[in-house]
């Protein structure tokens, strides 16, 4: 082997070894660049980062009013998804210059397939918008808790390029006796340097002001974005006949029987319209024409079905199992009764548990009173409150009773007797609730 050939052979082997060493490093750099979109570095300790994440954790999960704009493009139509839900998880790790926080958003939604048997919850891929928002909120928390250089506590060393140094005056101070004098230069004080708080080279007041202006603009846009989401969620119509699943992987059966076919397993907080109740089973609508049955113990029932298994609604007079609340709604009062005409009222629709059993006037009044007291107590924290309550008996011998909220409150405080309360109400028709001697 000639010297020239040996040289070329050695160079080739060296280049091959160098490529093997550099390839993993190059891949790491590429992967780091791809992941940087969902992570952010903060000049704080791991404990402080965990505290900041805990501060924003309450707003890092919840319902999405729409999936559009939050997920990547899917092969399925996005408008067929509903019940969007997201939850962000965090990975906190120490870094050379502080702490790195990585956010990952899991997004799920119910897909309504034209074939009901193929409908179900799907996991969608986030487009990074939720992660960016939650990282921005963490940055705001960190900014509020981290002191600036100008307001750092006493004794903290200033940045390197702000190191205190004062050149001695020309000639220095004159020290000596008699005619002999000498110039002595004052020593330059030495201040330790903390590199973690050093100001980047080339930083000017104008660049700091510009950065601050951009940050304030971004914060304002984020606040407006969050406010718009809250307004959308607040203005969404929320049906009042939905039962929420309390336990994860709750089985939805084709029939009200343990050995029936399992149609799906619902996640916690999933909601289904209630179609009916049969003992310990609840008949629910899954999607479209698809129906199923769920154990009542696994559901948070809507108002009117909230009592536990084996119990029934009981009026103050002791009457049990005669009526049940079918549904409720809030809308303007459509009647001509002056105290509530055109005002918002809570309407409770009541139906007999057994349509074949008739009820007396006294039983209807007793159940209506229990509804008035129950609804008024639940409206104490509602904003805004309806101005009245209406109980509608949906039966052959039905009718409706309307009462102003002030009268119901007085009844609840025992400052108004039952007889006086009924005389302050609108009974339509009166003969459905009172006999001729008490009207």
Strands 388-393 vs 344-352: parallel, antiparallel or unpaired: parallel
> For 175-188, b where at least 16 C-beta lie within 10 A, e where not — what string?
eeeeeeeeeeeeee
pLDDT in tens, 41-63: 999 999 999 999 999 888 888 88
| Residue tagged 């159940």 (tokens) | 367
On whether both 426 and 342 belong to a single domain, the answer is yes
Residue 176 within any structural domain of the chain: no
Residue 171 within any structural domain of the chain: no
Residue 271 within any structural domain of the chain: yes
Residue 179 within any structural domain of the chain: no
In sequence order, what are the residues at sequence separation of 6 or more whose Cβ sits closer than 8 angstroms to the Cβ of residue 189? Answer: 164, 165, 166
Could you tell me the pLDDT band of residue 160, with boundaries at 50, 70 and 90?
very low
Residue 158 within any structural domain of the chain: no
| Inter-residue contact 391 to 348 (CB < 8 Å) | yes
One-character DSSP codes across 117-150: GG-EEEEE-B-SHHHHHHHHHHHHHHHHHSPPST
On whether both 293 and 327 belong to a single domain, the answer is no
On whether both 359 and 417 belong to a single domain, the answer is yes
On whether both 256 and 337 belong to a single domain, the answer is no
Look up the CATH number of the domain holding residue 348: 3.10.310
Look up the CATH number of the domain holding residue 273: 2.30.30.40
How many distinct structural domains can be found in the chain? 3
DSSP label at residue 240: S
Could you tell me the pLDDT band of residue 158, with boundaries at 50, 70 and 90?
very low
Q: What is the pLDDT of residue 146?
A: 65
Residue 267 within any structural domain of the chain: yes
pLDDT in tens, 184-231: 444 555 545 444 455 666 678 778 888 888 888 888 888 888 887 776
On whether both 338 and 383 belong to a single domain, the answer is yes
On whether both 426 and 327 belong to a single domain, the answer is yes
C-alpha to C-alpha distances, 22 to 10, 12, 158, nearest whole angstrom:
18, 15, 39
Could you tell me the pLDDT band of residue 309, with boundaries at 50, 70 and 90?
very low
Residue 202 within any structural domain of the chain: no
Would the pLDDT of 106 be above 90? Answer: yes
pLDDT in tens, 29-38: 333 333 445 8
On whether both 360 and 288 belong to a single domain, the answer is no
Measured distance CA(379)–CA(201) in Å, rounded: 61
Helix (H) or strand (E) holding 419: helix 418-424
On whether both 138 and 46 belong to a single domain, the answer is yes
Contacts 24+ apart (CB under 8 A), 30-35: 35/102
Would the pLDDT of 149 be above 50? Answer: no
Q: What is the pLDDT of residue 426?
A: 93
Q: What are phi and psi of 61, to 5 degrees?
A: -155, 155
Can you give the pTM of this predicted structure? 0.32
On whether both 407 and 343 belong to a single domain, the answer is yes
Could you tell me the pLDDT band of residue 151, with boundaries at 50, 70 and 90?
very low
On whether both 282 and 348 belong to a single domain, the answer is no
Residue 68 within any structural domain of the chain: yes
Q: What is the pLDDT of residue 199?
A: 60
Per the structure, the complete domain to which residue 252 belongs is given by 242-300
pLDDT in tens, 5-29: 454 455 555 555 544 555 444 443 3
* Mean pLDDT along residues 323-350: 89
Measured distance CA(281)–CA(295) in Å, rounded: 5
* Mean pLDDT along residues 259-274: 91
């Amino acid at each position: 082997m000639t010297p020239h050939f040996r040289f070329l052979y050695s160079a080739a082997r060296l280049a091959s070894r160098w490529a093997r060493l550099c390839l993993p490093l190059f891949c790491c750099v590429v992967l780091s660049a791809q992941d940087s979109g969902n992570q952010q570095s903060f000049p704080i300790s791991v404990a402080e980062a965990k505290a900041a994440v805990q501060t924003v954790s309450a707003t890092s999960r919840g319902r999405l009013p729409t999936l559009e704009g939050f997920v990547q493009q899917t092969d399925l139509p996005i408008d067929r998804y509903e019940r969007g839900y997201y939850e962000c998880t965090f990975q906190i790790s120490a870094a050379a210059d502080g702490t790195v926080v990585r956010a990952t958003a899991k997004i799920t939604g119910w897909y309504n397939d034209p074939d009901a048997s193929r409908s179900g919850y799907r996991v969608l891929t986030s487009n990074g918008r939720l992660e960016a928002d939650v990282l921005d909120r963490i940055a705001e928390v960190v900014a509020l808790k981290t002191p600036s250089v100008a307001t750092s506590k006493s004794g903290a060393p200033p940045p390197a390029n702000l190191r205190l140094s004062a050149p001695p005056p020309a000639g220095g101070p004159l020290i000596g006796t008699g005619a002999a004098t000498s110039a002595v230069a004052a020593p330059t004080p030495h201040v330790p340097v903390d590199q973690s708080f050093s100001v980047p080279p080339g930083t000017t007041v104008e660049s700091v002001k510009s950065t601050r202006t951009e940050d304030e603009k971004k914060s304002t846009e984020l606040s407006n974005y969050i406010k718009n989401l809250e307004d959308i969620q607040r203005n969404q119509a929320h049906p009042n006949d939905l039962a929420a699943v309390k336990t994860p992987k709750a089985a939805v059966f084709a029939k009200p029987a343990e050995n029936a076919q399992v149609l799906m397993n619902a996640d916690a907080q999933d909601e289904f319209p209630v179609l009916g109740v049969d003992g310990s089973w609840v008949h629910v609508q899954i999607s479209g024409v698809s129906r199923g049955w769920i154990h009542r113990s696994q559901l948070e029932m809507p108002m009117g079905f909230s009592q536990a298994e084996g119990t029934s609604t009981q009026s103050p007079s002791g009457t049990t199992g005669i009526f049940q609340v079918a549904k409720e709604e809030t809308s303007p009062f459509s009647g001509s009764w002056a105290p509530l005409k055109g005002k918002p009222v809570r309407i409770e629709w009541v139906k007999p548990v057994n349509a074949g059993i008739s009820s007396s006037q006294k039983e209807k009044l007793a159940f209506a009173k229990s509804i008035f007291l129950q609804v008024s107590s639940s409206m104490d924290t509602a904003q805004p409150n309806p101005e009245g309550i209406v109980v509608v008996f949906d039966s052959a011998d039905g009718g409706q009773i309307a009462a102003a909220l002030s009268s119901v409150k007085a009844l609840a405080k025992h400052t108004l007797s039952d007889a006086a309360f009924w005389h302050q109400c609108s009974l339509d028709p009166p003969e459905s609730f009172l006999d001729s001697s008490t009207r």
